[in-house]
Amino acid sequence: PNLWVIPSSIDLVGAELELVSRFKREFIMQSLLIDVRDDYDFILIDCLPSLGLITVNALTAADSVLIPIQCEIFALEGLQKLKNTIELVRQQLNESLVIEGIVLSMYDRRLRLANIVVDEVKSNVEDPVYDTIIHRNSKLSEAPSMHQPVLLYDASSKGTINFLNLAKEFLSRNNITLKVPSAQ
């Protein structure tokens, strides 16, 4: 009811190439959102893990960034590259851009490396790290292939519970109290 979703589509495949030749290409998403941004408390823009023009557009249009980090070997290197890109965007395109926080994802507590990544991020990253961790879960992988959000695909899965807890934590950190379905 209070959630609008604009899903990704196959059309985005060519969008990156189309943006290359556009005037003020870094500001296209910002200009498209300007008329509707006051209608919403939050507009979440889910980006691919690449640092191309679509991501730069999202960063230019955003007030803040919530960074998901997979609990895998190259996570910290990828985080540093993204933070460098965020800093460039802040300096050149969007001086008010801030890092909202970091969310650890694809966590499997049985894997030693995953636990090392969690410890490294929590102890060495100066940005806020969310308490909620998104665990590796088969339902999270299956839901997109069924063209459903995980909440509709399997409301009781660990992945759904993790995302509900993340939503609660996000809202709490932004001083908003809403009734989010119980996660347990």
List, for residues 95-148, the tens digit of each pLDDT value. 999 999 999 999 999 999 999 999 999 998 999 999 999 999 999 889 888 988
Which sequence spans correspond to the domains of the chain? 12-136, 137-184
Q: Where are the beta strands (DSSP E) in 44-122?
A: 64-70, 98-107
pLDDT at position 48 is: 78
Asked if 56 contacts 92 with a C-beta cutoff of 8 angstroms, the reply is: no
Mean pLDDT of 38-63: 89
Does pLDDT of 1 surpass 50? no
pLDDT at position 3 is: 66
The answer regarding whether domain 12-136 maps to CATH 3.40.50.300 reads yes
pLDDT at position 184 is: 54
The amino acid at residue 65 is V
Does pLDDT of 34 surpass 80? yes
Quick: pLDDT tens for 70-79: 999 888 888 9
Mean pLDDT of 39-68: 90
pLDDT at position 94 is: 97
SS3 string, 53-73, reads HHHHHHHHHCCEEEEEEECCC
Quick: pLDDT tens for 143-178: 888 988 888 999 999 999 999 999 999 999 998 887
Buried b (16+ CB within 10 A) or exposed e, 131-169: ebbbbbbebbeebeeeeeebbebbeebbbbbbbbbbbbb
Rg (CA), the chain: 17
